[in-house]
Amino acid sequence: MKNTIIVFGMAVFAVACNGGGGEAPAKDTASGRGAAADATGWALLPFVKQDAANPVLSPGDRHFMDPIRHQVVAWEEKDVFNPAVAVKGDSLYLLYRAQDRVGKPAGTSRIGLAVSADGLHFSRRLSPVLYPDADPQKKLEWEGGCEDPRLVEDEKGLYYMTYTAFDGSVARLMIATSPDLVHWTKHGPVFAKAYQGKYKDLWSKSGAIVSRYDGEKIVATRVAGKYWMYWGDQNIWAATSDDLLNWEPVEMAAGEQPPIPLRGQAVNMPKLKIVVPTRSKKFDSDLVESGPPAMLTDKGILLMYNGRNIPAIGDSSLPEGTYAGGQVLLDRADPTRVIQRLDHYFIRPDKSYEITGQVGQVCFLEALARFKGKWFLYYGTGDSKIAVAEKQPAN
């Protein structure tokens, strides 16, 4: 989720883009209004919250010696939320963001690791696996921390984690690699080298790399010769890469106009091509933000995303600031072109641990996995806990 709320003076938003979804809503699933079996068959639906197990992860009392403060901190005491996921062997591994009560601005964030044999019950490592340290990335990560991981692997089984570094002022999209999900090598900001470094200090978050969901693995896969990633937490933009480490944001072609007037932080992004914009009168009226790694399918590229609502310009049935989940289908031949988009959210907050928390009214999607024959969707709740929904057979 966002570190700050963008203040703006223009309330101008886009209507649904190319074929922006004509699906008729059906019965409630995951407390959403998305169709249980959408008309086109492209969306991954329906999901049902696993109430008997939720929340599957809550704040804990584990301690660790912080290498910068040189003191022991209860590193996940305040909140745990916004997970990433991988399946290895017969277990599901969950990376997650945890906050202490010590750091600024709202507690230092670190990335923890939990493991499960059934996707519902987890045991956690005592110490975080990725965190601010006395390393070359300290100036970008301290003391806000390391936030909101998303996880894929390459053809050789090396894991790639996109995460957000926050220094208390600017969020920057980062990349790290690991052979085992425990020992991580930080490679710095993903946009550091693009266009002679002009985007290296761009406010950037939420990197969802296009991948094959190959059995139980999520494998980054080239499309038209390039790796692709959807990113952003106001609109959703795109970027390409040759090596999964260095990424180049997709800019607009000469003469191309953005679908909506840029606002707020977007004044620093005048050339970036908006792929998925906000929409008037819908749950995603205020902002859109990438969810789990995007999925290559035979119908296109499926991206789950998070939308934030302002009732006055969005969905009047949802409270102010509600984060709910949507789905959009993009073109494999042109990954910046939207083919279809659900008109309605398919998951929204309605449980006590989703409605209240560090930030209330939040279901924030980040992790999707196929595990032991089932689809599990993990999401942050109220920026304080983690829950899961399971895909049910379509009716």
Does some domain include residue 16? no
Residues 121 and 82: beta-carbon distance below 8 Å:
no
pLDDT 10s digits, 18-42: 333 333 333 345 766 654 445 569 9
Rounded Cα gap, residues 62 and 39, in angstroms = 47
Does some domain include residue 23? no
Q: Does the pLDDT at position 378 exceed 60?
A: yes
CATH of the domain at 97: 2.115.10.20
pLDDT 10s digits, 251-306: 998 888 776 554 444 545 668 999 999 999 999 999 999 999 999 999 999 999 99
Does some domain include residue 7? no
H helix or E strand, kind and range, residue 148? strand 145-153
Residue % of the chain over a pLDDT of 90: 84
Does some domain include residue 360? yes
pLDDT 10s digits, 266-276: 545 668 999 99
Does some domain include residue 68? yes
Token pair belonging to 4 = 């700050």
Q: Does the pLDDT at position 17 exceed 50?
A: no
Q: Which domain covers residue 154, as residue numbers?
A: 47-391
Token pair belonging to 133 = 């340290």
Total of domains in the chain: 1
Does some domain include residue 19? no
Does some domain include residue 354? yes
Peptide bond into 258 cis (omega under 30): no
The closest alpha carbon to 131, from 114, 118, 119, 143, belongs to 143
Does some domain include residue 27? no
pLDDT 10s digits, 108-151: 999 999 999 999 999 999 999 999 999 999 999 999 999 999 99
Token pair belonging to 287 = 């902002």
Query: pTM for the complete prediction?
Result: 0.91
